[in-house]
Amino acid sequence: MVASLQNLTVRYGSFTALDSLSAEIPEGCVGLLGPNGAGKTTLIKTMLGFLTPAEGGGSVLGLDIRTQGREIRQRVGLMPEQDCHIPGLNAVQFVAFAGELAGMPSELALRRAHEVLEYCGLGEARYRNVETYSTGMKQRIKLAQALVHGPRLLLLDEPTNGLDPRGREEMLDLIRTVSHGKGVNVIVSSHLLPDVERVCDHVVVVSRGKVTEQGAIARLKVIEGRPIDIELKEESPEFVRALRDLGAAVEAMGLVLRVRLEGSAEQVSATIFRTARQTGAQVRGLAVAQRSLEGVFEEAVRA
Amino acid sequence: MPDSGLIADLSYRGYDGPLLPPTHRWWVIARLGVRQAFRKRAYWVVTALSAWYYLVMMAVLFFFERAAQSAPGPRSEAGFEAFLGRIVWKDQFLHGFGFAQLLYLIAALMLGAGAIANDNRSKALLVILSKPCDKRDYLAGKWMGVFLPLLTMMLLPSLVFFLYGALSYRDYGFLDNPWFFPKFLLVLVLGAAVHSSLVIGVSSLFDQGRLAGASYAGIYFLTNFFTQLMVFAWLTAQGFRRGGGRVSGGQSPFAEYVDRLYYLSVDGLLIGLCKAILGTDGSPQFGMPSPIRPVPAPPLLPTVAVAVALCVAGVAVAWSRIRAVEVVR
């Protein structure tokens, strides 16, 4: 586990931002989802040791969030949502400074800064003052400063903010690469569900200071009864009637039929193709039906 | 973007080198401030300019000595002895320190006005406090990043003059007081600390270095203008003889009051601090006879207390303005 939080309660005066929140954040890439004001930011602050919980506790990378904030921040890289840099420094100096702050000896920090900037696609612009960077470059340098000390956990807050489509693709590729097979765990806090779906394996949905859903995305998207979506070339009432005669629950969504049939996947698909042949229906596609991540999110927020 | 090639492997690799314990990060921040200051050409120019009194004094001493040597005889030797007799060595450091006040202000503005203000603008705290640093590290680092270059700037010229004097005028009482240089060092430390604390405090109130600089300069000059106005009023009343009316015997309560007001400004306080710690009222510059009497030194303890209070106030303002918890918004 990357982080384990038990009954975490954080209050700002009389306002309860986190209300007995419990979560187990597994290794890999995890999306932190939630509407505005849900408590995501407070959760990140608490995990970094900036806020002391009123009740409950937890650990990040095995370190106590109440007493080991500095140690946690040494092992964690944060990419903030907002543009930020150290004034007057070029990219190499900035990233090396971030490395030194994390505890790297200055020579190693400088060497590593070059490597990380190269990796983040800023190799050509490394000697330019960061203040002259474009939005996309600023996003990349924020990632570079978060990665420089080789953190075991990366916290990325809206990493694709302000990026053009190509930049967004590249940033998501970077995150995906870092979080898979490189020993870096990533928590992505984002409102962009397609981005989260693309890079993350797990999600934690926070709403009103509580975790309302968490788990592997693939598992959360599964619909109970494992229905099949059948895409037809044109509407076929005969096909629908024949399936219903076989005991199937059929839900028509335009040219797509969502069908629930008893039996194994092979048996169900064989039955569908046989019925289609008998009724003259043309099947264009067949897939196990899934909920969208948006559906999962909305359901979790409503809960 | 990440790409593996035959020539260079640019794909992501973890860092498995050493990491120092997550303590004393203030020094990393301070070191950056010192490095940035030392890289500025303007800093060295101001440092050189702040040495002007010492350089002129060294030139005066050198030429007087050369003149005495080039025309040997009891008269010229007696003249040189008389000249040296008029010189109070510790007062030369007081003058060097006093005449460089404006340059210290310029250096303080250059080093400290943007120290926190520019960080506020660029949201540098988001980066700094996401590392194993806290508010104390940040503030201590920023303070030291201004204090150390300022102290260096104040120390270098006086050190050069001290070495010159120690090597050339030991026989003329230059090293008579073994506690002189530690005392003067204390003056410089307090002077640099007052400037650093005030400019850091003002800087923390703004998110633009220029505004912070203009505000600090405004505070400096307004207080300075007020105190100079007081002194001018007193001088007008007393007939243009500085010295709190002591020249003409009994000192009026008004004159004593104005004596103290003279020190109610940033540079006035620092000069008063120097006089109080060195234990001198001052003497004419360059050892030249002058009818103008210097303003007497203020009492030591209250002056030091005011300086320390200003340091605490400046740091307290900055402390209250830095919100570590806002690292993630």
Phi, psi of B212 (to 5 degrees): -65, -45
β-pair type (A185-189, A228-232): unpaired
Q: Mean pLDDT of all residues in chain A?
A: 90
Share of chain B residues as helix, strand and coil, in percent rounded to the nearest 5: 70, 0, 30
**Domains in chain B: boundaries:** 30-50+89-321
pLDDT tens-digit readout, A169-206: 999 999 998 988 888 999 999 888 889 989 999 999 99
Which among A70, A87, A108 is the nearest to B17, CB-wise? A108
Task: Identify the top-confidence range among B48-52, B177-181, B322-326.
Answer: B48-52
Q: Which residues of B touch A98 (CB under 8 A)?
A: 127, 131
Of B286, B306, B291, nearest to B194 by C-alpha is B306
pLDDT tens-digit readout, A141-150: 999 999 999 9
Residue A129 has pLDDT above 90, yes or no: yes
- Reported as a pLDDT band with limits 50, 70 and 90, residue B1 is low
Of A108, A109, A87, nearest to A97 by C-alpha is A109
Phi, psi of A46 (to 5 degrees): -70, -40
pLDDT tens-digit readout, A45-59: 899 988 889 999 999
Contact B263, B227 (CB under 8 A): yes
Minimal Cα–Cα distance from B51 to chain A, Å?
A: 28
Res B297: pLDDT:
87
Res A254: pLDDT:
84
Residue B139 has a CB neighbour count (10 Å cut-off) of 20
pLDDT mean over B71-95:
81
Residue B2 has pLDDT above 60, yes or no: no
Residue partners of B308: CB distance under 8 A and separation at least 6 = B190
Contact B169, B286 (CB under 8 A): no
Minimal Cα–Cα distance from A26 to chain B, Å?
A: 20
Res B238: pLDDT:
59
Residue A13 has pLDDT above 60, yes or no: yes
Contact A230, A60 (CB under 8 A): no
3 state SS of A204 = strand
Which among B12, B21, B121 is the nearest to A182, CB-wise? B12
* ipTM field: 0.84
Res B315: pLDDT:
97
pLDDT mean over A212-233:
87
Res B291: pLDDT:
67
pLDDT tens-digit readout, B212-226: 999 999 999 999 888
Which among B23, B28, B36 is the nearest to A100, CB-wise? B28
Percent of chain B with pLDDT over 70: 84
- Cβ–Cβ of B18/A108 closer than 8 Å? yes
Task: Identify the top-confidence range among A159-168, A277-286, B44-53, B257-266.
Answer: B44-53
Which residue type does B260 have? Answer: R
Residue B325 has pLDDT above 80, yes or no: no
Interface test with A, best of B7, B9, B11, B12 (most A CBs within 10 A): B12
Q: Exposed, middle or buried, B189 (CB in 10 Å: 0-12/13-18/19+)?
A: middle
Of B27, B189, B38, B158, nearest to B107 by C-alpha is B38
pLDDT mean over A104-132:
92
Q: Judged by CB atoms within 8 Å, which residues 124-183 of B form the interface with A?
A: 124-134
Residue partners of A115: CB distance under 8 A and separation at least 6 = B13
Give the containing element (helix H, strand E) for B279. none
- Reported as a pLDDT band with limits 50, 70 and 90, residue B323 is confident
β-pair type (A256-260, A249-253): antiparallel
- Whole-number Å distance between alpha carbons of A91 and A127: 6
Of B214, A190, A16, nearest to A175 by C-alpha is A190
Res A32: pLDDT:
93
3 state SS of B174 = coil
Res B245: pLDDT:
42
Which among B15, B123, B127 is the nearest to A145, CB-wise? B127
pTM of the model: 0.85
Is B73 at the interface with chain A, CB within 8 A?
no
Minimal Cα–Cα distance from A128 to chain B, Å?
A: 16
Res B53: pLDDT:
95
pLDDT mean over A269-293:
89
Residue partners of A159: CB distance under 8 A and separation at least 6 = A79, A139, A143, A171, A175, A188, A190, A195
Res B326: pLDDT:
55
- Nearest residue on chain B to A70, alpha-carbon basis: B132
Q: Where are the alpha helices (DSSP H) in chain A?
A: 40-47, 69-75, 91-102, 106-119, 135-147, 165-179, 193-199, 217-220, 237-245, 265-279, 293-302
Q: Which of A64-68, A288-292, B233-237, B305-309 has the lowest mean pLDDT?
A: B233-237
- Nearest residue on chain B to A113, alpha-carbon basis: B15
Residue B306 has pLDDT above 80, yes or no: yes
Q: Which residues of A touch B18 (CB under 8 A)?
A: 104-105, 108
pLDDT tens-digit readout, B232-290: 776 666 555 544 444 444 556 666 667 677 788 899 999 999 999 999 988 877 777 76
Res A1: pLDDT:
87
pLDDT tens-digit readout, B130-178: 999 989 999 999 999 999 999 999 999 999 999 999 998 888 888 888 8
pLDDT tens-digit readout, A73-89: 999 999 988 888 898 89
- Cβ–Cβ of B2/A112 closer than 8 Å? no
- Cβ–Cβ of B19/A41 closer than 8 Å? no
